[in-house]
């Protein structure tokens, strides 16, 4: 049996851009991606604290140190600039792996920068 377990989380970052004219995805500052153990192309869930929306998409690497959190394509309709979101990824693992696994959570500060 495989379980889907919380793997990574970027807790409470601010949307900096919403680009409707893009195929789809979320662009995330490369520094945040590395700190949260997220990979380009990885599936993520985005939870919008301002309006309760929950969407799924995939990660695109943004410029390191830029603080960018940009919803692209249809996802851009689900948040506004300055909305606060939580970005979560999950991984499949066996129950044995899940017992030992330690997820990564980061808490960026002002302007979506690592503390």
Q: Which residues are catalytic?
A: 25, 58
CA distances from 99 to 10, 38, 45, 88, 96 (A): 22, 21, 23, 19, 5
Q: What are the beta bridge partners of residue 27?
A: 60, 70
3-state secondary structure of 34: helix
| Cα–Cα distance, 82 to 13 (Å, whole number) | 9
| Cα–Cα distance, 110 to 54 (Å, whole number) | 23
What phi and psi, each to the nearest 5 degrees, are found at residue 58? -130, 160
């Amino acid at each position: 049996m495989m379980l889907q377990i919380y793997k990574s989380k970027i807790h409470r970052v601010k949307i900096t851009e919403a680009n409707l004219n893009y195929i789809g995805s979320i662009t995330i500052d490369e520094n945040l991606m590395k700190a949260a153990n997220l990979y380009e192309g990885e599936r993520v869930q985005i939870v919008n604290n301002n309006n309760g929306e929950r969407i799924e998409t995939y990660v695109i690497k943004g410029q390191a140190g830029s603080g960018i959190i940009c919803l692209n394509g249809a996802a851009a309709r689900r948040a506004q600039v300055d909305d606060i979101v939580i970005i979560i990824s999950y991984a499949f693992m066996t129950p044995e792996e899940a017992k030992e696994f330690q997820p990564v959570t980061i808490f960026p500060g002002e302007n979506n920068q690592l503390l």
